[in-house]
């Protein structure tokens, strides 16, 4: 392959998304490769925060019903916009809560053990918070996770085979919860196939979309997924602690949520103040508390950019830039004991490159001191994510040049091979 900087510059000239880079705040002298953990701030998101603050300043409590974005309906309106990213109908998506809170809500609703169907099926490579939540849901219903929680094992520590998941879909499973993309290796699961197989066996299935929403197009409604949940602060760039989202297929709408709260009410009746809960007939029923307006606000501006760019075009650049990064890694870093741990096939890869090395923690520290912002995941993974909106191909090229220099000069050896408090 052509490993010259000139080739990277030509890729940037041909990039139809390159102008979006100017929409983001990018620190000079920094190569930001951690947008899969926290996306950068866009100027649109900043403006939308100020607009919500201004509505509070100018309108006070009337901001709930007046202004450019009346707060009372904002979560539903943003849900309709997010629906395009995940392939849901407007009424099936709501912006609310956080990832783990939303999982608790959905599991408490859809985990309904009956007869011999008492078990929850997950995988052993999922993000820990999901596992904590699912085990606690079992315990709340009086079941011991040691007996009623199944985790599909990985054959190589990187990926989970769909065949192994399907084999574990036994007649005692009541609910399946899986990631769309595995957070370490970046493996993209075959969501449609797994949903079809679960439903053949009468099992409900939901997905954690934290590592795919905003970079991988989904078709949750068409694929018949029962539910899904995700954050917006990674690829959707809504800011640290930004409000999450959830999807519930229309066939389940009208069902009483497991965790009832005031803002899940039918909006026409919410202020009747009755003590009998009347849930909305949309995904809005799965809200629990009052929307966190100042955490919702950045999403308004961020979603404008997605509307302009289109999720399909974002996916195309993501695949192209991660492929380019992998090609450079294979060309420039052969002999330095790196292993690419993510799937190489486009249809099986999420939005980041998983680079494995026994000295990963030290290498990450060396990269940061050289201005590259990577992401370490224990025990040996360096995650690098070129983001379609704001990462140039030249930046990908420069990142690999710096990594090559670090390895060639053994600059990582002066650091302890131990993660920081926050990896």
pLDDT at 417: 81
Q: Is 42 exposed, middle or buried (0-12, 13-18, 19+ CB in 10 A)?
A: buried
Note whether 5-32+310-414 and 47-308 share their fold: no
- What phi and psi values does residue 306 have, to the nearest 5 degrees? -65, -35
The C-alpha atoms of residue 279 and residue 269 are separated, in whole angstroms, by 9
DSSP state of 217: -
pLDDT at 421: 65
For residue range 285-307, what is the model confidence (pLDDT) as tens digits? 999 999 999 999 999 999 999 99
For residue range 102-142, what is the model confidence (pLDDT) as tens digits? 999 999 999 999 999 999 999 999 999 999 999 999 999 99
The C-alpha atoms of residue 423 and residue 358 are separated, in whole angstroms, by 16
- Segment 226-232 shows an average pLDDT of 98
Q: Percent of the chain, pLDDT > 70?
A: 99
The C-alpha atoms of residue 336 and residue 330 are separated, in whole angstroms, by 10
In this structure, are residues 265 and 280 in contact, taking their beta carbons and an 8 Å threshold? yes
- What phi and psi values does residue 364 have, to the nearest 5 degrees? -60, -40
In this structure, are residues 98 and 243 in contact, taking their beta carbons and an 8 Å threshold? yes
pLDDT at 423: 66
In this structure, are residues 120 and 175 in contact, taking their beta carbons and an 8 Å threshold? yes
For residue range 413-422, what is the model confidence (pLDDT) as tens digits? 999 887 776 6
pLDDT at 63: 97
pLDDT at 187: 98
For residue range 331-389, what is the model confidence (pLDDT) as tens digits? 999 999 999 999 999 999 999 999 999 999 999 999 999 999 999 999 999 999 999 99
Report CA torsion sign: 69, 71, 76, 81.
positive
Whose structure tokens read 């599909």? 152
For residue range 165-207, what is the model confidence (pLDDT) as tens digits? 999 999 999 999 999 999 999 999 999 999 999 999 999 999 9
Find the farthest-apart pair of alpha carbons in the chain and give their distance in angstroms, rounded: 70
CATH number attached to the domain at 47-308: 3.40.640.10
Q: Binding site residues, as ranges?
A: 99-100, 127-130, 208, 211, 233, 262, 290
pLDDT at 88: 98
CATH architecture of 5-32+310-414: Alpha-Beta Complex (3.90)
- The neighbouring-strand residues paired with 173 are 119
Length reported for the chain: 423
Q: Is 259 exposed, middle or buried (0-12, 13-18, 19+ CB in 10 A)?
A: middle
82 CB-near residues (< 8 Å, 6+ apart): 88, 93, 95, 213, 232, 236, 245, 303
In this structure, are residues 246 and 228 in contact, taking their beta carbons and an 8 Å threshold? yes
- Segment 319-323 shows an average pLDDT of 98
Nearest to 220 by CA among 119, 137, 117, 311: 311
**pLDDT of 208 over the 70 cut:** yes
The C-alpha atoms of residue 164 and residue 172 are separated, in whole angstroms, by 16
- Segment 252-276 shows an average pLDDT of 94
The C-alpha atoms of residue 343 and residue 352 are separated, in whole angstroms, by 10
**pLDDT of 57 over the 70 cut:** yes
Average pLDDT over the chain, rounded to an integer: 97
Nearest to 189 by CA among 376, 348, 336: 348
Parse the chain into domains and list their residue ranges. Answer: 5-32+310-414, 47-308
The C-alpha atoms of residue 45 and residue 371 are separated, in whole angstroms, by 25
Per DSSP bridges, beta strands 204-208 and 173-179 are parallel
Q: Binding site residues for pyridoxal 5'-phosphate, as ranges?
A: 99-100, 127-130, 208, 211, 233, 262, 290
Q: Tokens for 258, please give them.
A: 């497991």
Q: How many Å separate Cα 236 from the centre of its chain?
A: 8
């Amino acid at each position: 392959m052509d490993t010259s900087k000139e080739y990277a510059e030509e890729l940037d000239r041909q990039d139809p998304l390159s102008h979006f880079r100017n929409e983001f705040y990018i620190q000079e002298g920094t190569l930001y490769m951690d947008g899969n953990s926290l996306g950068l701030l866009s100027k649109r998101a900043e403006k939308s925060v100020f607009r919500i603050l201004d509505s509070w300043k100018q309108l006070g409590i009337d901001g709930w019903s007046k202004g450019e974005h009346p707060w009372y309906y904002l979560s539903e309106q943003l849900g309709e916009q997010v629906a395009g990213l995940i392939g849901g109908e407007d009424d099936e998506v709501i912006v609310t809560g956080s990832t783990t809170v939303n999982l608790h809500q959905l599991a408490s609703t859809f985990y309904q053990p009956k007869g011999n169907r008492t078990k929850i099926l997950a995988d052993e490579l999922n993000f820990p918070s999901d596992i904590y939540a699912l085990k606690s849901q079992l315990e709340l219903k009086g079941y011991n996770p040691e007996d009623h929680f199944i985790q599909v094992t990985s054959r190589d520590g990187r990926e989970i085979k769909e065949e192994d998941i399907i084999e574990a879909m036994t007649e005692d499973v009541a609910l399946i919860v899986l990631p769309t993309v595995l957070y370490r290796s970046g493996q993209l699961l075959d969501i449609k196939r797994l949903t079809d197989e679960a439903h053949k066996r009468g099992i409900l299935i939901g997905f954690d979309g934290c590592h795919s929403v905003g970079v991988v197009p989904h078709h949750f409604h068409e694929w018949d997924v029962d539910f899904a949940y995700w954050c917006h602060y990674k690829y959707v760039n809504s800011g640290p602690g930004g409000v999450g989202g959830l999807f519930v297929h229309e066939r389940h709408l009208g069902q009483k949520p497991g965790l009832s709260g005031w803002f899940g009410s039918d909006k026409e009746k919410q202020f009747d103040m009755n003590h009998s809960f009347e849930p909305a007939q949309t995904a809005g029923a799965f809200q629990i508390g009052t929307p966190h307006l100042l955490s919702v606000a950045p999403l308004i501006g961020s979603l404008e950019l997605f509307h302009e760019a289109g999720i399909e075009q974002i996916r195309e650049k993501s695949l192209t830039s991660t492929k380019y990064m992998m090609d450079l890694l294979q060309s420039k870093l052969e002999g330095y004991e790196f292993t690419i741990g993510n799937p190489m096939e486009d249809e099986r890869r999420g939005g980041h490159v998983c680079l494995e090395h026994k000295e990963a923690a030290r290498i990450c520290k060396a990269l940061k001191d050289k201005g590259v912002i990577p992401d370490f995941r224990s025990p040996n993974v360096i995650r690098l994510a070129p983001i379609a909106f704001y990462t140039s191909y030249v930046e990908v090229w420069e990142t690999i040049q710096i990594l090559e220099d670090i390895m060639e000069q053994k600059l990582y050896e002066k650091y302890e091979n131990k993660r920081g408090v926050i990896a």
